[in-house]
Structure 1
Amino acid sequence: MAKVLISPGKYIQGSGEMKKIGEYAAGYGKKALILISSGGKKRIGAEIEASFQNQDCTYQFDLFNGECSKNEINRLVAVMEQENCDFVIGIGGGKIFDTAKAVAYYKNTPVLICPTIASTDAPCSALSVIYTDEGVFEEYLFLPSNPNLVLMDTDIIVKSPVRLTVAGIGDALATYFEARACQRSDAATCAGGKATGAAMALAKLCFDTLMEEGVKAKIALEAGACTESVEKVIEANTLLSGLGFESGGLAGAHAIHNGFTVLEECHHMYHGEKVAFGTITQLILENIPMEELADIIDFCIEVGLPVTLKQLGVQEVTDEKIMAVATAACAENDTLHNMPFEVTPEKVKSAILAADAYGHYFLGE
């Protein structure tokens, strides 16, 4: 199998870039379907509209229903046809990106992704995660190409809740460890081949950046400041993690996240928060040295990522609940089987319970 590296057509990150979205959009079509939340439209809708003035391109706003589900995708495909839109712009968070990418795929049009938060590595990827209308993980939709453009306006991201960027750190924290597991097992990646040295280097740079800059960035964000640390973490959360996970591979952490979607009491937690706990669980499955595990758990505690089941929303821990999570994580079509050893629901259950116990231990509880 060949080695494969894929990436978006262009990545732009900087202050005030959303004010240029109309200018950028004009290079991709004549009429854009702009998918955005109602809150997002209230905050930056006027700025977006102003950017399209004097451009040879028009737009049609549509408000996102809240879930990247087949029903929502089909609804928006119909809107594209009714409004004669020839490309899609997704503005907001991860589920909006995934929905916009899926709609563009089914309509065979360009797609531009404009995050207003840095909470996941979804923006750069040729992947949509499909959920049921109720928010339970259903399947991965692998796309033939990455977004045409990814635009990160750091002025907007700095104004978003700090917890969202911290959740992005949790998502990005998994990148190197999952890519390393895939490399050890010689597994195929989401890019449809084996990992390149470039992908592994990006994944490692992602991890190193988080460990060096993550706490500094969180403190700066709490002060409303866009420092160099913040810029580096936004890039790590979005570009480095996006390219690293896709061309390096997914393994245990994201599969365990998917397992937790079966517990309704965890639905209020962000993707990256569950992935961070899944990363700790994967590292326990790998039985890494205690000193290395301690570094990861201490880092999660310091930036504010969950390290116990209670922090994930599981108020009453039962064998039945944790086995349900473990069984879902081991689904035949999920990525836990990319680990370099056999993984069973019983092993995953034990690792989850151990992760919870270690979390309490390091919290001094």
Structure 2
Amino acid sequence: MIRVMRAPSRYVQGKDALLDLKRHVESLGNTFYAIGSKSALKSTKAAIEKSFEGSDMSITFELFNGQCSMAEVNRVRDLIRKSNSNVIVGIGGGRALDTAKVAAHYEKLPLVIIPTVAATDAPCTALSVIYTEQGEFDQYLFYPKNPDVVVVDTGIIAKAPVRFFVAGLGDALGTFFEGRACLRTESLDLDGEHITQSGYCLAELCYKTIVADGYKAKLAIEKGVVVPAVEKAIEATTYLSGVGASGAGLAAAHSIYNGFTVLEECEGTMHGEIVAFGTLVQLLLEDSPIEEIKEVMDFCLSVGLPITLEDIGVKQVDPEKLMKVAKAACAPGESIHNMVGDVTPEELYDAFIVADNMGSQYKRQ
């Protein structure tokens, strides 16, 4: 049995890390094409340009349209070709970074990732989540290699709205439990390879780190400052979660997120927020010990993550709509099928109801 472990070629993290960007990317090329949201470019452009001062390296900045769809990918690819750039840079949140990944893959160019929020583990993974123009989950795209360089400026991330950081904790929360489920069934990881001890250990360390440091880090980020807990938690949500998920695989929690994208009432709920609720649902499907479930719920409540359907935007339970979610989450090819004994839409629907009831009662205690 062959096992494979993959990760970004270089991971850089720290306050003001962008001021040292040139040193970490100069071996990749000299004409850079960056895509990012208006807010992302605003928070990074000056530092990037300062880092490139006095060199022969140039960079073009392009606004991201907000949706990682194939239409946006094709638009960006056309612009990259016209610019004759030889390195692609993704700046911002998960969808902007995923768009840069797709473009870099198809254009066969090196890729630099600069997250401005710690809302997902997208910076370090070798995949993109593609959505329709309407924002519904469309497909995963997988790549033969991870980003070349990931630069995480914790000073910038600490000044982003705290909800993004909390959502990142939610995304990271599923990493260990999904990896554990894949290990039990000897499922393949996100790269289609057999799970390594290293990948699984990183996933486990991710969970231990966010439980130990997530709440302290949230308190700091609420004030826009960086303390050691912030550095640890961001490394967990960005690197440990991304590389851990790649190396240990996904199971029910992320499929549940994909399922909820079909509901209009969940459009305002962030990826990691739904993954957190999905993690509780997965633990119920596995019949995990109540002590473990309570530990997860306590963590969620301490940092402000959802533990009920209402928390993720479902104010009233409509059986027909919820079954639609369950069917979408159990569609062929979804990672929920990595669970022991597989999961049917009917079983998932029942777990939704119980998780919601359990979370509601736990809140009242």
Could you tell me the TM-score, scaled by structure 2's length?
A: 0.98
Q: What is the deviation of 1:297?
A: 1.0
Shifted more, 213-222 versus 57-66: the winner is: 213-222
Correspondence for 1:153: 153
How far apart, CA to CA, are the structure 2 residues paired with 1:244 and 1:306? Answer: 23
CA distance in structure 2 between the partners assigned to 1:269 and 1:14 by the alignment: 29
Q: Which residue matches 2:188?
A: 188
Residue of structure 2 equivalent to 1:137? 137
- Percent of paired sites with the same residue: 47
Q: Mind listing any 5+ residue stretches in structure 1 that lack a counterpart?
A: none
Structure 1 segment 66-145 matched on structure 2, within 5 A: 66-145=66-145
| Corresponding residue for residue 45 of structure 2 | 45
Report the counterpart of residue 239 of structure 1 in structure 2. 239
**Shift in Å, 1:194:** 1.0
- Any idea what the Cα deviations from partners look like across 1:148-204, whole Å, max 9, x if unmatched? 000000110111111111110000000000000000001111122111111111111
Matched position secondary structure for 1:68: coil
Q: Distance in 2 between matches of 1:74 and 1:328?
A: 27
Q: Which residue does the alignment assign to 2:213?
A: 213
The Cα of 1:15 is off from its aligned counterpart by 1.2
Q: Is 1:54 the equivalent of 2:50?
A: no
Other-structure match for 2:300: 300
Most deviating of 50-59 and 5-14 = 50-59
Contact 2:33-2:61 at 8 Å conserved across structures: yes
Query: Alpha-carbon deviation of 1:49?
Result: 2.1
Counterpart Cα distance in 2 of 1:107 and 1:241: 27
**1:52-86 deviation digits (Å, cap 9, x = unpaired):** 22122111111000011000000011001111111
CA distance in 2, matches of 1:303, 1:56: 45
The answer to whether the Cα contact below 8 Å between 1:23 and 1:52 also exists between their aligned partners in 2 is no
Alpha-carbon shift at residue 142 of structure 1 (Å): 0.4
**SS of alignment partner, residue 311 of structure 1:** helix
RMSD: 1.1
| Alpha-carbon distance, 1:42 to partner | 2.6
Contact 1:26 1:55 in 2 (8 A): no
Distance in 2, Cα, partners of 1:205 & 1:44:
30
CA contact (8 A) 2:155 2:225 kept: no
1:298 touches 1:362 (CA, 8 Å); kept in 2?
no
Q: Which moved more, 1:175-184 or 1:17-26?
A: 17-26
Counterparts of 1:42 and 1:191 in 2: how far apart (Å)?
Answer: 34
Q: Distance in 1 between matches of 2:283 and 2:189?
A: 19
Rounded to whole Å, the distance in 2 between the matches of 1:59 and 1:223 is: 32
**Higher mean Cα deviation, 207-216 or 71-80?**
207-216
What is the Cα deviation at residue 23 of structure 1? 4.0
Cα drift, residue 48 of structure 1: 2.1
In the alignment, the residues of structure 2 paired with residue 125 and residue 43 of structure 1 have an alpha-carbon distance, to the nearest angstrom, of: 23
1:268 alignment partner in structure 2:
268
Gaps of 5+ in 2: none
